[in-house]
Amino acid sequence: MTKQLTLAFCLIALSTLSAWAAKSSKQAAFAGQGIMMGELTATSIHAQVRLTATEELVDRDLPGQAGVVEFTILKSAGLRLRQLLDLAVGQQTIVVEAKAEHDYIARAVFNDLEPYTDYLIRTRIGSSPETLKPGPVGRFTTHAGKSRPQLVSFVVVTGMNYAKFHGDQRIDRKIHLEHNNTELPEAYRGRDKHLGYPALESISRLRPHFFVGTGDNVYYDTPKDPRAETIEEMRQKWHEQFVQPRYRKLFSHVPTYWEVDDHDYRIDDGDNSGDHLPSVEMAVRMMYEQLPYAAMGDQKTKTYRTVRVSKDLQIWFVEGRIYRTDNAMEDGPAKTIWGLEQRQWLMDTLKESDATFKILVSPTPMVGPDDKRKFDNHTNFNGFRHERQVFFDFLKEEGLIDDNFYVICGDRHWQYHAQDPSGVEEFSSGALVDANSRPGRKSGEAESTDPEGHIIQHYLQDPPSGGFLQVVSIPGVLGGSQLAFIHRDERSRVLNVEIKRAR
């Protein structure tokens, strides 16, 4: 009898222990997307961690988990990583709840940092303050700011098409052929496919100071059927993208800046018209929620902004979707991509800048050439050429074209360096993913936006491939400051180099 009672007690205890373990496991918090840092300045940075229930995709998504994230920022100069992780008190500590209403993303904003200083952000994560455990760690260096020269390297990317890379069979190959005049490239077949895009590994090895995503960071409309039309479906696109190990590795030591374009706003070549889903309100909500533009819940901070990186370098990031008028409008003074307020801000801040080099990062091209069939950017015949002319006339009148001003654009799936008859030069980053690349339009082609061949093409990628644009600002020592534009393929092989000396 005693043995039976003992056995029964053991079974009950084991059952209770199993139930407790299952409950604890269910409540455990992970950081399946790692840490993302953004909006770096000389004195501030944003950092975010999304709490997840697992570290891998479940049914094509990464389920979230409510909990708490503790962010601590520390100066890292002169200290070993192990020492930093053991420190009980940092320079600043911020505790943030990860809530379902914000997709379980916890975001902290750190201010009052010192320029040109190495920092480390340590996190602790848990389902409650009592269960905190070490989370992902981020490392970065603040900008030098306007008073100090600094060697700066950064990368610019676009076209991070998850479905094409991984070979989603739901993609309509016929539509791709009709629109892009080329067969859909093969999906990636490498044994390291589970790690994500090879270009991210190449970028990580270069150790740039920051990373710029110009838009088409995810594709709500690829595959076309079904496309993302609900908040849950839109979020899923970001989850599957940023859970990839190469993103987690890269973003742990490279801060980011983000713009969005058509595919990660609503639909291909979309604007703010129409009652189709995603709606404008949904699109804007996802921008501010998924990307670290501002404190969580803040949708008033402008998504267009300028950053003074160093004495030599200032960058402008423009917003190309929120303020645009309808694509179908007749071109003229009232038709705009930027909106009058943003355009005036852009011109005013460019005039005020005393930076040696001034770079405008645009989600869409301003020089091209682009496809003749398109109608949603500044190069298109039925697009927004009037606004482009207003802006280019301003650049000429203010002498900015001859004062080290350059445009970098995303959107186009090929790399190029082109010069408009006005003198404005533009560098296209090309698609990050090899399976999302295509041949570019040539100046003088009938199906291009420059059929008469007025644009000078200093470089046009051939054959097409995935890759990115690296930009290096070199302070003047002998012979003045320089700016290098380096086109690389996804394995980091140099395809083209253009070096600009300060005029």
Alpha helices in 42-188 (DSSP H): 81-86, 162-166, 173-180
Stronger pLDDT, 116 or 171, i.e. the higher one? 116
Question: Is it the case that residue 91 has pLDDT exceeding 90?
Answer: no
State residue 49's pLDDT score: 98
| Mean pLDDT, the chain, whole residue set | 92
pLDDT class of 477 with cuts at 50, 70, 90:
confident
**Residue 371 tokens, joined:** 């496809």
Q: What mean pLDDT do residues 173-196 have?
A: 76
Q: Identify the helix (H) or strand (E) that includes residue 9.
A: helix 2-27
Provide φ and ψ at 308, rounded to 5°: -90, 110
Question: Is it the case that residue 42 has pLDDT exceeding 70?
Answer: yes
Kindly report whether the peptide bond that precedes residue 421 is cis, defined as omega within 30 degrees of 0.
no
State residue 180's pLDDT score: 59
Distances in whole angstroms, Cα of residue 17 to Cα of each of 11, 29, 189: 10, 20, 44
Q: What mean pLDDT do residues 63-80 have?
A: 88
State residue 185's pLDDT score: 78
Question: Is it the case that residue 80 has pLDDT exceeding 90?
Answer: no
| Degrees, nearest 5: CA angle 317-210-316 | 15
pLDDT class of 194 with cuts at 50, 70, 90:
very high
Question: Is it the case that residue 446 has pLDDT exceeding 60?
Answer: yes
Distances in whole angstroms, Cα of residue 300 to Cα of each of 94, 303, 362: 22, 9, 21
State residue 78's pLDDT score: 57
Distances in whole angstroms, Cα of residue 86 to Cα of each of 90, 130, 227: 10, 18, 46
Question: Is it the case that residue 162 has pLDDT exceeding 50?
Answer: yes
Pairing of strands 210-213, 152-157: parallel
d(CA 29, CA 123): 13
Question: Is it the case that residue 4 has pLDDT exceeding 90?
Answer: no
What distance lies between CA 376 and its chain's CA centroid? 21
Q: Identify the helix (H) or strand (E) that includes residue 263.
A: none
CATH class of the domain defined by 152-501: alpha beta
Q: What mean pLDDT do residues 121-137 have?
A: 97
State residue 17's pLDDT score: 33
State residue 182's pLDDT score: 63
Judge whether 35-141 and 152-501 match in fold.
no
d(CA 217, CA 286): 12
pLDDT class of 2 with cuts at 50, 70, 90:
very low
Within 13 Å and on the Cβ side, how many CA atoms surround 371? Answer: 17
pLDDT class of 10 with cuts at 50, 70, 90:
very low
The proportion of the chain whose per-residue pLDDT surpasses 90, expressed as a percent, equals: 86
Contact 439, 371 (CB under 8 A): no
Q: What mean pLDDT do residues 477-488 have?
A: 89
pLDDT class of 456 with cuts at 50, 70, 90:
very high
Q: What mean pLDDT do residues 307-331 have?
A: 98
State residue 81's pLDDT score: 53
Buried b (16+ CB within 10 A) or exposed e, 24-37: eeeebbbbbbbbbb
- The ranges assigned to domains in the chain are 35-141, 152-501
d(CA 247, CA 359): 26
State residue 79's pLDDT score: 55
Q: Identify the helix (H) or strand (E) that includes residue 238.
A: helix 231-242
Contact 404, 358 (CB under 8 A): yes
By CB atoms closer than 10 A (0-12, 13-18, 19+), residue 75 is: middle
pLDDT class of 175 with cuts at 50, 70, 90:
low
d(CA 157, CA 130): 40
Question: Is it the case that residue 13 has pLDDT exceeding 90?
Answer: no
Does residue 237 sit in helix, strand or coil?
A: helix
DSSP state of 228: P
d(CA 125, CA 69): 5
Distances in whole angstroms, Cα of residue 445 to Cα of each of 378, 430, 453: 18, 19, 8
Q: What mean pLDDT do residues 47-67 have?
A: 97
Pairing of strands 256-258, 210-213: parallel
State residue 83's pLDDT score: 54
Q: What percentage of the chain's residues is helix, strand, coil (to nearest 5)? A: 25, 25, 50
State residue 171's pLDDT score: 77
pTM here is: 0.92
Q: What mean pLDDT do residues 74-89 have?
A: 60
A 10 A CB-CB count for 238 gives: 22
Question: Is it the case that residue 48 has pLDDT exceeding 70?
Answer: yes
**Residue 208 tokens, joined:** 């740039």
State residue 170's pLDDT score: 81
Provide φ and ψ at 242, rounded to 5°: -85, -5
Q: What mean pLDDT do residues 179-200 have?
A: 85
Of the given ranges (165-174, 307-316, 414-423), which has the lowest mean pLDDT?
165-174
Contact 346, 286 (CB under 8 A): no
Contact 197, 244 (CB under 8 A): yes
- The domain made up of 35-141 has a fold known as Immunoglobulin-like (2.60.40)
pLDDT class of 478 with cuts at 50, 70, 90:
low
